[in-house]
Structure 1
Amino acid sequence: MTARLERLKKRADFLRVAGLRRKWAAPGLILQAAPGPDRDANADSLRVGFTVSKKVGNSVCRNRARRRLRAAVAELFPSRAAPGLDYVVIGRRETLTRPYSLLLQDLATALKRLGALRVESVTPSPGA
């Protein structure tokens, strides 16, 4: 089962997620997570926001970092991230030069460390 990705766009949502101070910093990115407001924990959608500060570089560098993060999230989150949470992915300088496979690994590790991995319901097989 895969979840549908939605975007966080309002500043208030970013501030709410940051305010809970539940984050994990990896070499390629920082991941923050918070329960969504008035959202069902079993909802099949994930809300994700992306931000990259001017410390990373000029607009070309920031946009490239954001594109790399969006691609990594699109690949990993639908199958591995827990629904009912809002996520903010923050780009770092290393986001630009870090190999994509290690960026995916950073994201997976951050999900695990935040306890935000999807819990798969295991159904017993017939005849077992």
Structure 2
Amino acid sequence: MERLTVERPDHLPLIIDRLRVRRDFLSAAKARKWAVPGLVLQARQRRAHEAVPANHARVGFTVTKKVGKSHVRNRVKRRLRAIAAELLPQSGLKGYDYVLIGREGSITRPFPDLKADLLAALAKVHSSSPKSPSKGSGPRPAPM
């Protein structure tokens, strides 16, 4: 999956490239994320000054050793690449970097469920509602 091109309604094709540089993965880790049973999706909107064309979306994949041995991790990555190739051209947004993180259940989860997981995660990270504050953030109440 080096490069996919699909015509979009705004007449500029969305081109899907791969994330390969560690710095890009770290930047995506600081952005919006959503966990679903089959995967974790991290999505970051790129800034205008970055050297990637605006009509490109980039995707990266990672699976930790916690998921299994190398042959299991490679199979999970192949499954994630397949759903990304199928769904991101229609559901991804231009100017975004996506990282799909495989989970322990990714290997046994049915393929249609993995696709539904990715669609749900994309909908959540692209929703206009801001992230809810984490527990304990914000001002503390005054002591009595």
TM-score over 0.5 for the pair: yes
Partner of 2:41 in structure 1? 31
User: Is 1:54 paired with 2:51?
Assistant: no
Report which structure shows greater RCO (CA 8 Å, sep ≥6): 1
**TM-score normalised to structure 2 length:** 0.75
Indicate which of 38, 41, 64 corresponds to 2:75.
64
Indicate which of 73, 86, 96 corresponds to 2:97.
86
CA contact (8 A) 1:35 1:84 kept: yes
Partner of 1:45 in structure 2? 56
> Alpha carbon RMSD of aligned pairs, Å?
1.7
- Rounded to whole Å, the distance in 2 between the matches of 1:9 and 1:39 is 15
**TM-score normalised to structure 1 length:** 0.84
Unaligned 5+ segments in structure 2 are: 1-7, 128-144
Unaligned 5+ segments in structure 1 are: 117-128
CA contact (8 A) 1:39 1:84 kept: no
- Relative to its length, the structure with more helix (as a share) is 1
Residue identity opposite 2:38 in structure 1: G
- Rounded to whole Å, the distance in 1 between the matches of 2:79 and 2:70 is 14
Q: Which runs of structure 1 show a deviation greater than 3 angstroms over 4 or more consecutive aligned residues?
A: none
Post-superposition shift, 1:39? 4.7
C-alpha change, 1:79 and 1:39, in structure 2 (3 Å) is: farther
Residue identity opposite 2:36 in structure 1: A
Name which of structure 1's ranges 43-52 and 99-108 shifts more when overlaid on structure 2: 43-52
Residue identity opposite 2:29 in structure 1: A
**Structure with larger Rg:** 2
Post-superposition shift, 1:115? 1.1
